[in-house]
Structure 1
């Protein structure tokens, strides 16, 4: 009998490679907000931990693990012409259109997990609308029993609300579930929910940052089926 029966994934940096997806997006997003003024874009980028010149996020960037609302709060002092809601609308629109780079071939992986009997979910600090757009773009939405963003009514990570909602919706106990993510926020949420935790290195966090909070750290989610099989 399987020790685990449910797997809930973070999205950015886990299902999709973070740098390949979001570093290109950030530059386009800043250019839009600053109407092509590169000096203003660079200053605005620094407020969210993004180097406009090198197109790289700092490891502690608010974009990596926080919610769009937190990103809005960081940017608002430099954007007096925007209301918080208007800026949030731009973030969500631009995020929904971001081209996602899968961390591994996702359909075969998720098909295999489904055939093995696992219930699957997504818990992201992104908003639910762009999160669903990304999953649709990758053609993988039907694989998931549960999809939640920070605005879906369960809160955001590192609080455990999304993960506990996944367990409740699928009829599983938290200890029967695995949280898979690329950040400490993901793993803290998993621990708080009473789930096993798997870290992956397709975000910006180094292995040393994740190891203290995870049962295992994998290069990417491609190694997840073998790890799950070893837990039986």
Structure 2
């Protein structure tokens, strides 16, 4: 399969969960804890909240483009409240944020990210991360994985650029680097990553099949789908 960027690429903006880290291995335990928090200890309600947010309580698998896969803490909190959580949004949202920051302590990298990012930087690309996670959780993940020296830009839903699928995170990356959005490649595992890329006028939108998104869903908006970020160097060399 062939693809063509809209302009010479200078930078790559990565989604985090499902793209850089294994979604289910990283987040299944944390999502269970967050649902139990939102259910105020009611195990049956917690299971209902997990299902409402896209996670199978039995297998721990999360559906693509579900609340857990694509939404931020405030959106997840509101969804849980609409499905029975007894908390007010102003109380539950920070509770979930804290739980997700805690979850950032145990990320499962998709591949050797230090080697991958080193190769990409050697090839001349600037690198950034844009996630529906909070900025503090993203920064903690980057710190735990030892990737800080590779990353030029980090944006979460609370960083002031707006949430996905709005274009703000990618546009913020472009402004930070002083490049055009068309010189940035977006890489992600969900439709909202591809929608953000299109809304911002990114030079390329690359779907990865390592997360919760399916080829069928991603291919509607992506220029091309690849197995994981480990395939990026060969893709860029074509």
> TM-score if structure 2 supplies the norm length?
0.90
In terms of mean alpha carbon deviation, does 95-104 or 83-92 score higher? 83-92
Deviation at residue 64 of structure 1 after TM alignment: 0.8
Cross-structure match for 1:213 = 221
Deviation at residue 26 of structure 1 after TM alignment: 1.3
In terms of mean alpha carbon deviation, does 26-35 or 63-72 score higher? 26-35
In terms of mean alpha carbon deviation, does 28-37 or 62-71 score higher? 28-37
Deviation at residue 135 of structure 1 after TM alignment: 1.4
Cross-structure match for 1:223 = 231
Q: 1:12 aligns with which of 14, 17, 20?
A: 17
- Structure 2: gaps of 5 or more residues: 1-6
- The 3-state SS of whatever aligns with 1:57 is coil
- The 3-state SS of whatever aligns with 2:12 is strand
Cross-structure match for 1:200 = 208
Cross-structure match for 2:96 = 91
Alignment of 1:97-112 (within 5 A): 97-98=102-103, 99-112=106-119
Aligned residues of 1:42 and 1:53 also touching (Cα < 8 A) = no
Structure 2 Cα separation of the partners of residues 223 and 55 of structure 1 = 26
Alignment of 1:47-196 (within 5 A): 47-77=52-82, 78-80=84-86, 82-98=87-103, 99-195=106-202, 196=204
- Structure 1: gaps of 5 or more residues: none
In terms of mean alpha carbon deviation, does 173-182 or 40-49 score higher? 40-49
Aligned residues of 2:191 and 2:217 also touching (Cα < 8 A) = yes
Aligned residues of 1:10 and 1:122 also touching (Cα < 8 A) = yes
Deviation at residue 83 of structure 1 after TM alignment: 2.8
Deviation at residue 229 of structure 1 after TM alignment: 2.1
Deviation at residue 33 of structure 1 after TM alignment: 4.1
Alignment of 1:9-48 (within 5 A): 9-34=14-39, 36-48=41-53
Change (3 A) 1:226 1:164: same
Aligned residues of 1:4 and 1:228 also touching (Cα < 8 A) = no
Deviation at residue 93 of structure 1 after TM alignment: 1.3
In terms of mean alpha carbon deviation, does 188-197 or 54-63 score higher? 54-63
Aligned residues of 1:199 and 1:214 also touching (Cα < 8 A) = yes
Aligned residues of 1:201 and 1:217 also touching (Cα < 8 A) = yes
Say how many residue pairs are matched.
228
Pairwise CA RMSD of aligned residues? Answer: 1.7
Q: Give per-residue Cα distances to partners, 1:167-219, cap 9 Å, x unaligned.
A: 11101111111000001100111111111111101111111211221121110
Change (3 A) 1:17 1:53: same
Structure 1 Cα separation of the partners of residues 37 and 81 of structure 2 = 15
Q: Give per-residue Cα distances to partners, 1:44-101, cap 9 Å, x unaligned.
A: 2233122223322233421111221110111124222x33232112211111121211
- The 3-state SS of whatever aligns with 1:131 is helix
Deviation at residue 127 of structure 1 after TM alignment: 1.2
> TM-score if structure 1 supplies the norm length?
0.92
Structure 2 Cα separation of the partners of residues 177 and 184 of structure 1 = 17
